[in-house]
């Protein structure tokens, strides 16, 4: 599985969009980009995934660059409850293993 690089930490004001970047320059054509988050010490929670098209669901949007070497997770209106560690993971389509890095710690402030 391709490696990912994320900033260690980010801040965001409540109500503003949080844009979390992820670099995956060695991604292969059959690898998906997944995002999970971990709030405090709870189990990780799935957010969104994509292959090459941009994706949106009720939680977030995922923007993948055309060359697929990087992506951005967007939380359109961050709330205090979005404070968490966000993990960007690259995963082969038919594989099941999730390999976590250290993630980005997002702090949403009032």
Partner 1 sequence: NAGVTQTPKFQVLKTGQSMTLQCAQDMNHEYMSWYRQDPGMGLRLIHYSVGAGITDQGEVPNGYNVSRSTTEDFPLRLLSAAPSQTSVYFCASSFTGSPTEAFFGQGTRLTVV
- Show the site string, 63-82: x = touches partner 1 by CB under 8 A, - = not: --------------------
86 binds partner 1 (CB under 8 A): no
91 binds partner 1 (CB under 8 A): yes
The per-residue DSSP string of 75-108 comes to: ETT--GGG-EEEEEEEEETT---------EEEEE
CA distances from residue 24 to 14, 52, 101 in whole angstroms, order as listed: 28, 13, 12
99 binds partner 1 (CB under 8 A): yes
93 binds partner 1 (CB under 8 A): yes
Choice between 41 and 81, CB closer to partner 1:
41
Residues that bind partner 1 (CB under 8 A): 32, 36, 41-46, 49, 51, 87, 91, 93-94, 96-103
């Amino acid at each position: 599985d391709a490696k990912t690089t994320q900033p260690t930490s980010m801040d965001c004001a409540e109500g503003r969009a949080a844009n979390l970047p992820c670099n995956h320059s060695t991604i292969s054509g059959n690898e998906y980009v997944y995002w999970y988050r971990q709030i405090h010490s709870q189990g990780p929670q799935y957010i969104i995934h994509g292959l090459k098209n941009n994706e949106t669901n009720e939680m977030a949007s995922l923007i993948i660059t055309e060359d697929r070497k990087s992506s951005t997770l967007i939380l359109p209106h961050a709330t205090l409850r979005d404070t968490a560690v966000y993990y960007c993971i690259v995963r082969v389509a038919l594989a099941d293993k999730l390999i976590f890095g250290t993630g980005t710690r997002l702090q949403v402030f009032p």
